[in-house]
């Protein structure tokens, strides 16, 4: 049976309420995957692959970036690049807390396309929050710059 996702919320320190999709494995998780999407996509684009990771035993939480996907407030806007990183740092701290209270396992930061930029910055500055980093067709050297 294909795991279904739940739409959940996480509130950042500045009060912004994020939506994310959560796929739970049937058994205690082998690990935790926190996923970041690209510049024009959102977590809904990755339902099939996220469900497959859950079938393989991983707890998958795919964030919709501030102003993207299910997050209708301030469409396409982030007040500062550091805020985008802070959002992921806070969410990873939350997932690590849940992991430490549960079955354990690694926390993997998975980044798709443009999501690799904040993921790489996070790994360089706050690497202690993740046990592994996975890039799927990373958009590290793009021709278009986000303002």
pLDDT tens digits for 62-117?
A: 999 888 878 777 766 677 788 889 999 999 999 999 999 988 899 999 999 989 99
Q: Across the beta sheet with 58-63, what order do the strands follow?
A: 5-11, 17-23, 58-63, 31-36, 107-112, 132-136
In angstroms, rounded to a whole number, what is the distance separating the alpha carbons of residues 17 and 114? 22
What pLDDT, in 10s, does the model give residues 58-68?
Answer: 999 999 988 88
Mean pLDDT of 125-146: 86
142 pLDDT tier (thresholds 50, 70, 90): low
* Mean pLDDT, the chain, integer: 90
Dihedral sign, Cα of residue 15, residue 127, residue 124, residue 34: negative
Confidence of residue 40 (pLDDT cuts 50, 70, 90): confident
The predicted pLDDT at position 36 comes to 95
């Amino acid at each position: 049976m294909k795991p279904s996702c739940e739409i959940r919320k996480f509130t950042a320190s500045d009060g912004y309420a994020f939506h994310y999709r959560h796929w739970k494995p049937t058994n205690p998780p082998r690990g935790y995957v926190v996923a970041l999407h690209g510049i024009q996509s959102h977590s809904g684009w990755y339902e099939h692959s996220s469900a497959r990771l859950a079938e393989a035993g991983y707890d998958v939480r795919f964030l919709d970036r501030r102003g993207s996907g299910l997050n209708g407030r301030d469409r396409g806007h982030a007040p500062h690049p550091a805020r985008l990183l802070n959002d992921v740092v806070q969410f990873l701290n939350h997932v690590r807390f849940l992991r430490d209270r549960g079955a354990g396992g690694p926390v993997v930061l998975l980044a798709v396309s443009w999501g690799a930029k904040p993921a790489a910055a996070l790994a360089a500055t706050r690497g202690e929050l993740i046990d592994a980093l996975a890039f799927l067709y990373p958009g590290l050297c793009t021709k278009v710059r986000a303002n």
